[in-house]
Amino acid sequence: MKRFCILLAVVFVAAFAGSSEAKAQTVYSVQYRSDADVKVYVTKYKSDADLVVYKCKYRSDADGNKGLWYFVDYRSDAKKKVYFVDHKSDADLVIYFTEYKSDAEWKNKSKQHLMY
């Protein structure tokens, strides 16, 4: 019985740790369009963006689906794989990169599902 309780506790902790990781907006930039989950266009104007994105320096800062992105070095570590397109018309999502973490937000909430 004691072994069962310990095993149950380990499973619970592993499941809880995995669920917090799943919420992080870890992003990997792929080389080919066909490898991407989302095609992204970067606009020069905040007012044109669906999402205002802040590039986090630390993985732990990239929490939830709020526009806080952490770019990972390995595809397998990413929640979403993105491909940056040259033309707005080719994009699923238009983003604007901000210098301020507090500016990160969804401007077009109908596209939030793309980053879940």
The pLDDT, as a whole number, for residue 3 is 52
Q: Per residue of the chain (116 residues), give pLDDT as tens.
A: 555 445 444 444 444 444 333 445 999 999 999 999 999 999 999 999 999 999 999 999 988 899 999 999 999 999 999 999 999 999 999 999 999 999 999 999 999 999 99
CA-wise closest residue to 66 among 30, 36, 37, 23: 23
Q: What is the pTM of this model?
A: 0.78
Q: What is the pLDDT of residues 89-100, one digit of tens each?
A: 999 999 999 999
In sequence order, what DSSP letters do the residues of 21-80 get, joined into one string? HHHS-EEEE-SSGGG-SEEEEE-S-GGG-SEEEEE-SSGGG--SSSSEEEE-SSGGG-SE
